[in-house]
Amino acid sequence: MNPVQTDKLKPGQILAEEVRDINGRLLLARGNQIQPNHIRIFKIWGISEVNVAGAASRMDSFDPELDSELVEQARESMMILCRHVDMEHPAIKEIFNLAVQFRCRHGLVEVESNLHITEPELPHQTQKQNFIDALYKKKIILPEIPAVVFELNEVVANPMSSAVQIAEVVNRSPSLTALLLKIVNSSFYGFPSKIDKVSHAVTLIGTREISGLALGISILSTFKNIPKEIIDMYTFIKHSLACGIFSRVIAAHLNSNQTEQLFVSGLLHDLGRLILYIHFPKESHNNITRSRNRSKLLFKEESDYLGCDHSQVGQQLLKQWKLPLIIENCVFYHHNPSEAQQTVPATIVHLADIMVNSLGIGSSGEKFVPPLDRAAWENLEFPISNFEKVIGQATHQFKALESILRL
């Protein structure tokens, strides 16, 4: 029993494991013979791959032979990137091995010389900034919530909202409308004919899914004009989108009914970093340089020199914007989920962030793989044997949604 990409399924193959959509609804039970209409339904519901009886193993069916020298190089560079994680932990061991193979296959093996920054450090900051204090005293003004986000949040929170009402809000923002239509017409959904109305898209994909996507995208679009010298927004959004998708896939594996909130939480988990980059560009640049030169975690540098880290800043912003509590909880605790009121959703984002950092998909500024919160991991009860499938499904979905990256 091994996964086969939906595009490569052949009618007549036998399903080795039931297929459910991202909200847990059963699409096809185990043991059924796959028919052409099943393949179409899988595509419509964004199922990237299914388990088929007798298929070749993924690790055998992708690139058959990895160059042993490249694998060695990938292992060595990964050892440097993993210096803050417990390499003896079984979950980390599995992520490490999968990441080595993934990086070899996708040209993401770090060259040793790139792992150390040669830029000189800025003068030592003698006085610790207190960002949160300044925030409370209103010395720092956080960005206003974009009108469309506010309105979307309202219609989404109302269980009586119809597809037409959600579409009306989306239609008020031409850029969001264009982007959403681009996404629903992408290979990710694989609809047979072109969808040119938002209301049609909402009906087909579902109100929760479309509004989660619209909410996350419109928030990240607010920051698209940050100068490249401060942060490359392309790689930042790549990291954010990957974390959103990985969080949703892990949540679906856990049969969670909060897959969309998890997607938005993953998408926004490092949002606070954008605020730090805007208000403290020099200090943030210095923190990044210092963390790499001294091989320290960036969020620890933030705490040491700014008096708080990006998760606290992100929480403040989401609180001000009155986004759902579960998102605020996931963002605030994504580096220490065992301390969260709602541990499981925060741990899902935490695990997604560790996977995405290990695989090297985009970056929010952090170079090293963040450490695993052991207590939270144990509480999650997620089988390590599912990691390979999660990575396969999530990276496939990520590829199909890459059009979002050109916000």
Binding residues for Fe ion (CB under 5 A)? 270, 353, 364
Taking the complex as a whole, the smallest distance from the CB of residue 226 to Fe ion amounts, in Å, to: 16
Cβ–Cβ < 8 Å for 363, 239: yes
CB atoms within 10 A of CB 109: 20
Taking the complex as a whole, the smallest distance from the CB of residue 356 to Fe ion amounts, in Å, to: 7
Taking the complex as a whole, the smallest distance from the CB of residue 268 to Fe ion amounts, in Å, to: 10
Ramachandran assignment for 138, one of left (phi > 0), alpha (psi -120 to 50 degrees), beta (any other):
left
By beta-carbon proximity to Fe ion, the closer residue of 190 and 362 is 362
Q: Which amino acid is at 353?
A: D
Taking the complex as a whole, the smallest distance from the CB of residue 309 to Fe ion amounts, in Å, to: 8
CB neighbour class for 327 (10 Å; exposed up to 12, middle 13-18, buried from 19) = buried
By beta-carbon proximity to Fe ion, the closer residue of 208 and 238 is 238
By beta-carbon proximity to Fe ion, the closer residue of 70 and 132 is 132
Q: In which residue are the tokens 């609804």 written? A: 25
By beta-carbon proximity to Fe ion, the closer residue of 6 and 311 is 311
CB atoms within 10 A of CB 68: 8
By beta-carbon proximity to Fe ion, the closer residue of 190 and 337 is 337
Taking the complex as a whole, the smallest distance from the CB of residue 365 to Fe ion amounts, in Å, to: 9
Taking the complex as a whole, the smallest distance from the CB of residue 20 to Fe ion amounts, in Å, to: 27
By beta-carbon proximity to Fe ion, the closer residue of 50 and 380 is 380
Q: What is the C-alpha separation between 129 and 305, in angstroms, rounded?
A: 6
> What is the DSSP annotation of 90-157?
HHHHHHHHHHHHHHHHTT-PPPGGGGS--SPPPPPP-SPP-HHHHHHTTSSPPPPPPHHHHHHHHHHH
